Amino acid sequence: MRTLKLAAGWLLLSHALCVAQIRLPRLISDGMVLQRDQPIKIWGWASPKEKVELIFNKKTFKTTTPESGKWEIQLPAQIAATGAEMILKGKNEIKLKNIAFGDVWLCSGQSNMVLPMERVKEKYPDDIANADYPDIRNFFVQTLTELNAPKDDFPQGEWKAANPKDVLGFGAITFFFARDLYEKYKVPIGIINSSVGGTPIEAWISEEGFKRLPDIQKIIQKNKDTVYVNSFNRRPNLSQSRPQVQDLGQIEHWESVDYQPKGWRNINIPGFWEDQGLKDLNGVVWYRREIEIPQNWVNQSVKLYMGRIVDADEMYVNGKKIGNVTYQYPPRRYEIPANLLKAGKNTFVIRVTNTAGKGGFVPDKPYFMTTGGQEIDLKGTWQYKVGEVYQPINFAGFGGGLVRQNQPNALYNAMIAPILPLKIKGILWYQGETNANNPEPYDALMPALVNDWRKLWGNATLPFLGVQLANFQEVNYTPTESNWARLREAQNKALALPNTAVTVTIDVGEWNDIHPLNKQDIGKRLALSARNLAYGETDLVHSGPTLTSQSIENEKITLTFNNVAEGITSKDAEALRWFSVADYDKKFVWAKTRIVGKDKVEVWSESIKTPKYVRYAWQDNPEGVNFYNSANLPASPFRTDGETLDETKPWKGKKCAVALTYDDALNVHLNYAIPLLDSLSIKGTFYIAGSFEGFKNRMREWKRAADRGHELGNHTLFHPCDASLPGRSWVNPENDLSKYSLKRITDEIRLTNTLLESIDGKKNRTFAFTCGDTKVEGVEFMNDLKKDFTGARAVRAAMHKPNEIDLYSFDSYMINGETGEQLIQLVKKAQSEGKLLIFLFHGVGGEHSLNVSLEAHRQLLRYLKDNEKDIYIDTMLGVAEHIKALKNP
């Protein structure tokens, strides 16, 4: 017992001594680069009240540690220099050596930012061999996560200089970026690479950065609940839950030279097995081939290149395992030992495992082996046999797992917060692939990141240089929608903020690899932007052509660009590719092009007589782009048919709002109104009376209208009106609202909701009072139905601003015989007064006593479309939801 007490005492004493020691963060260490020309903060930890001295440049700086244990010492700004030293003294002494003062760049994002020089060593052997840059230094932040609060240090990490050995661990883009800047300015460059592959932008933003995104803030708070987070640890993982069916190839040792193959079939490498007869197979497939080896290869070390394999592989040569890779992205580069090959036939076996998507060998990658300048091609026919089939897993009763590195602010807390005390020159950001499946939120997330980090570093103009997504995936030779193009658009919008730049990379990607090997051009383009924004070379062209305006004349659209240097060029002297045009219907077709002068491009198509919109490179992979400026920088993808709406402002930032509503489900609505609306990409609300012939007889067409974005609103089942009011002699006695009970009207309305949901599959919609009547038995019946509807439309000729609107009594203008000009004047009034205008149409070109001519209706819609930059046009449901959001931010 006495021995135990003595041991415990020594532990407590050792702990106290440890606490008393000055401790520095990992970033403040030998070989560090500190930001020149700015006041410098050196910080660390020690015991409370401990006196700390810093000796630098023959001067002594002192402080006393506060109760928190964290101390700081401020040093004056320093000019660029290398080889400096610092000494820190407290109860211990630390000497820091080989300090440089230069420019520090934070480089962050996902895998393309962190992809190391080692992965591109075959492409850049001379750059690696000649990497003798002691003043280019890299600090690599290991992958860390933290869900609760920002961390103040990293558990490990060190500064390394660029030499042929250590440069292999530098991010390839960051090395080429730093080298260009160093060779230009001869100033030490420090790179802090804090990046994690496969992560979303949300993980990199601080909790404070989400202050305008309350839904994400709720996730952050939920993730601080340890019980909630730990509950995911009890959920099954894939390897434990999969039925334990063993791989027959491992049981029978198909890799062995003694194995006699039976039942093997032909398959091609490269290629995916799903494309070669193995439908929807997740599991293990073995590949086998005998290859003739010449005598002069014997006893030689041979390099084997097997491209890229989805997902994991094990490589065997003559029965011996020479290596394996556990996931799909790394290139397969193996070394065959010198004593393993023999003259004549040699057996090569590859065990490939795939759990999702297409498995196999990615096309257009290198498949060969080489030694002494000779090569043997490994593409062609191999044999295969299925070793194991993975059965689908039923996770009934379990939700999805919680991947910590994908959670909001989890990477910021662990991998960015510890860097904040360090002054930096600027930020490089390469991320977006993970968010590309849902690109719309990126419109808000990207500027949130930029503004968040600038605020955290206390610099509202901190240079922020982003890399746009490269071209990737199969080439689509028809104009199409593209999530990758949409995310590039979001990147462009965010990087229109002051002192930001976007590096375009749609010409350096690879269709079959999300990690293109050409990192040098990206680094060089980033360096151009840095020179312009951060180093004051304001006349330096650092961007490709950027659209500034368009004009339409004589069935052609003329586009004007800036950032053209000496002028727009076609890189291959052919007509500019990947331009498409469309009319109001947004049905894009490929366009012909002509460069007009220094800064203009003319586009047109004989099949589009009235072109309104242009898109350029609006594809996942616009392969072979040739639209550049004279500085050899490519133009960024763009479209003129998109718009940015500010959801926080009335009418989403536009001057007024207009909703087009059509009552009674008439045939003319399907015959005339909807085709015109569709041709102009305008959405309307059609209030359906369930018993009307125009609805019952054409339900499929109404479903198609709903599928195209039109709202099917509720106009009750039998369209009852109050016959007791003056001028209502025409009302059918069976549908006399004055004879209804409250239950009857609410039942009919709810029944109509059920009917409409069976047509369009939607639960949310608006209601329109029939004949404008709002009461039954003297009671406002909508009070009983507010939970069933987002809003309701009445019939009073008035316009209102958002704060004046009753969601369950929208006013509207009932149209009967007005000319197109009269309708347009109503819109102009709404524009001038900033109000909501709701049109109520019945007949459109006939079929109702209340009618508007087709020409007047067409003139109105054309005016709306021509002025949509100033007019927020939406369905009644969309307008109601917008007003509700404004009232309840």
Tens-place pLDDT, residues 514-540: 999 999 999 999 999 999 999 999 999
Question: What per-residue confidence (pLDDT) applies to 888?
Answer: 84
Contact between 449 and 409 (Cβ < 8 Å):
no
Q: Report the alpha-carbon distance of residue 342 to residue 325 in Å, rounded.
A: 25
Residue 401 burial (10 A CB sphere; 0-12, 13-18, 19+): middle
State the pLDDT at residue 16.
Answer: 41
What does the pLDDT average to over 428-448?
Answer: 95
How much is the pTM? 0.79
Of the listed ranges 210-214, 393-397, 431-435, 747-751, the one predicted with least confidence: 393-397
Q: What was the pLDDT predicted at 610?
A: 86
Average pLDDT over residues 858-886: 94
Of 359, 407, 447, whose CA–CA distance to 221 is shortest? 407
Q: Quote the pLDDT of residue 2.
A: 44
Task: With cut-offs at 50, 70 and 90, classify the pLDDT of residue 260.
Answer: very high
pLDDT at 650: 94
Give residues with Cβ within 8 angstroms of 547, minimum separation 6.
559, 560, 561, 616, 638, 640
Which residue in this structure is represented by tokens 């039976």?
A: 262
Cβ–Cβ < 8 Å for 389, 245:
yes
Give the confidence band of 648 by pLDDT, cuts at 50, 70, 90: confident
Confidence of residue 83 (pLDDT cuts 50, 70, 90): very high
pLDDT for residue 393: 57
Whole-number pLDDT of residue 244: 60
Q: What is the pLDDT of residues 155-177, one digit of tens each?
A: 999 999 999 999 999 999 999 99
Tell whether the model's pLDDT for residue 317 goes beyond 80: yes
pLDDT score at 230: 86
Task: Quote the pLDDT of residue 85.
Answer: 97
Q: Point out which residues pair with 307 in neighbouring strands.
A: none
Query: Average pLDDT, whole number, for the chain?
Result: 93
- CB within 8 Å of 181: residues ≥ 6 apart: 103, 187, 189, 527, 530, 531, 535
Name the amino acid, one letter, at 199: T
Confidence of residue 397 (pLDDT cuts 50, 70, 90): very low
Give the relative orientation of helices 699-707 and 742-760 as an angle to the nearest 10 degrees. 70
Enclosing H/E stretch for 811 = none
Provide the pairing of β-strand 871-873 with 656-663: parallel
> Helix, strand, coil shares of the chain as percentages rounded to 5?
30, 30, 45
Q: How far is CA 116 from the centre of its chain?
A: 23
Say if residue 650 is exposed, middle or buried (CB neighbours under 10 Å; 0-12, 13-18, 19+): buried
**pLDDT at site 212:** 85
Q: Examine the pLDDT at 374 and tell me if it is beyond 80.
A: yes
Query: Which residues are registered as beta bridge partners of 245?
Result: none
What mean pLDDT is predicted for residues 469-489? 95
User: Among residues 663, 713, 723, 712, which one has the least CA distance to residue 851?
Assistant: 663
Give the span between the Cα atoms of 184 and 866, in whole angstroms: 50
Q: Give how far Cα 555 sits from Cα of 85, 566, 678, Å.
A: 70, 28, 21
Mean pLDDT for the stretch of residues 440-445: 94
Residue 12 pLDDT > 60, yes or no? no
pLDDT digits (tens, 9 = 90+) for 555-587: 999 999 999 999 999 999 999 999 999 998 889
The pLDDT of 463-478, averaged and rounded, is 96
- Res 479: pLDDT: 96
Residue 92 has pLDDT above 80, yes or no: yes
- What's the pLDDT score for residue 400? 52
Q: Are 64 and 50 in contact (CB under 8 A)?
A: yes
Q: Is 56 helix (H, G, I), strand (E, B) or coil?
A: strand
Q: Is pLDDT at 6 greater than 50 in this prediction?
A: no
Instruction: Find, among 763, 105, 830, the residue nearest to 424 by Cα.
Output: 105
- Helix, strand, or coil (residue 93): strand
Counting residues of the chain whose pLDDT is more than 70, the rounded percentage is 95
The pLDDT score that the predictor gives to residue 394 is: 52
State how far the Cα of 621 lies from the Cα of 633, in Å rounded to an integer.
18
Q: Residues of 448-479 as b/e, b for ≥16 C-beta within 10 angstroms?
A: bbbbbbbebbeeeebbbbbbbbbbbeeeeeeb
Q: Please say if the pLDDT value at position 201 is more than 70.
A: yes
Q: Which two tokens stand for residue 548?
A: 């500034």
In this prediction, residue 643 carries a pLDDT of: 76
Inter-residue contact 187 to 102 (CB < 8 Å): yes
CA distance 777 to 770: 16
pLDDT surpassing 50 at residue 270: yes
Look at residue 239 in the predicted model and tell me its pLDDT: 46
Q: How far is CA 854 from the centre of its chain?
A: 43
What are 127-157's pLDDT values in tens digits? 999 999 999 999 999 999 999 999 999 999 9
